[in-house]
Amino acid sequence: MRVIESISEMQQQADSWRRQELTIGLVPTMGYLHQGHLALVQKAIDLADRVVVSIFVNPTQFGPNEDFERYPQDIPRDLRLLDELGVAAVFKPDAASIYPQGYQTYVEVQQLTQPLCGHTRPTHFRGVTTVVNKLFNITKPHLAIFGEKDFQQLVTIQRMVSDLNMDVEILGHPIVRESDGLAMSSRNVYLNAEQRQTALRLSQALEQARRLVSGGERQPQAILEKVKNHLLEGGGITIDYVELCHLDTLQPVTSLERPGLLAMAAFVGPARLLDNCILTPPGAGLHDRTQ
């Protein structure tokens, strides 16, 4: 496995693979890898001839009071795990080469980035789309894989790629969970034992919503109230948002006639945690999504 820090070396490696007509799969990460990341990497390995994993804690996607400075890291462990999986190259640039002095270009997806996480993190998605755009230009992938835990990120990147005619296929991968249901996240390490227990209420609340919808409930207000009540019961959680929205536009649904996204963000101790699921009303298939 090559570990590449230089942008031009990475581009040359990608060019060389492309000349050999090898397909390239990219999994962009901020490191501190968990089983969720590794599932994305495995999917890339199944689909592409050469897999690149980028590890870059991207400063432009963090707000001023967020956890950029303390974002967890374990590069030796990350490299070992990726090597074992059969990754061809890890691209691990430093911030000064990604954002050199005088840097001033940003890629912005305007509407999809407004709701949900956009309220609390107004500059977050601009940082994400900008760095992912750069990573695509550097690693020249045929396909790239993103986790569905960051559902808004996934649809935002799909929109960027489609709008800018980038010739890359964007694939999602279902949320990978701990055995007790907690969605995997590098930020789970911020939780102490009690908070870790409290955090289970996110996935439990989603489960509750699923049961409600299976039972015939289609009113977003009723669903959201149950979910919020479950989250708040017993304390220790501050809700950032809980929303039921269209899968494509992320705008709130007024009645759940087609599959919709139930998305939440909540603070548990020092961690801001995300979780989501797709709620499908009985009789509505996922193919209804684009109707």
What is the C-alpha separation between 261 and 117, in angstroms, rounded? 14
Shortest Å, Cβ 105 to a copy of itself: 4
- Give me the count of residues in the chain: 291
> 13 to 42, contacts with a copy of itself by CB under 8 A?
15, 18-19, 21
Task: Identify the residue whose tokens are 């809700």.
Answer: 239
Shortest Å, Cβ 291 to a copy of itself: 16
Shortest Å, Cβ 252 to a copy of itself: 18
Beta bridge partners of 252: 245
Q: Does 265 bind a copy of itself (CB under 8 A)?
A: no
Size of the site for a copy of itself (CB under 8 A): 30
37 assigned to active site = yes
Contact range with a copy of itself by CB under 8 A, out of 10-18, 64-72, 189-197, 251-259: 10-18
Contact range with a copy of itself by CB under 8 A, out of 68-76, 105-113, 213-221, 276-284: 105-113
Q: Does 107 bind a copy of itself (CB under 8 A)?
A: yes
Shortest Å, Cβ 63 to a copy of itself: 18
Q: Which one of 24, 55, 138, 266 is in contact with a copy of itself (CB under 8 A)? A: 138
Token pair belonging to 108: 């912005």
106 vs 239, beta carbon nearer a copy of itself: 106
What is the C-alpha separation between 106 and 128, in angstroms, rounded? 10
Contact range with a copy of itself by CB under 8 A, out of 37-45, 46-54, 165-173, 282-290: 165-173
Mind giving me the DSSP string for 122-173? TTHHHHHHHHHHHHHHHH--SEEEEEGGGHHHHHHHHHHHHHTT---EEEEE
| Contact partners, residue 225, CB within 8 Å, separation at least 6 | none
114 closest CA partner among 126, 131, 132:
126
Question: Cβ of 85: how many Cβ atoms within 10 Å?
Answer: 16
Q: Does 289 bind a copy of itself (CB under 8 A)?
A: no
What is the C-alpha separation between 228 and 246, in angstroms, rounded? 19
Catalytic residue annotation: 37
Which residues in this chain contact a copy of itself in the complex, by CB under 8 A? Answer: 7, 11, 15, 18-19, 21, 103-112, 129-130, 133-134, 137-138, 140, 159-160, 163-167
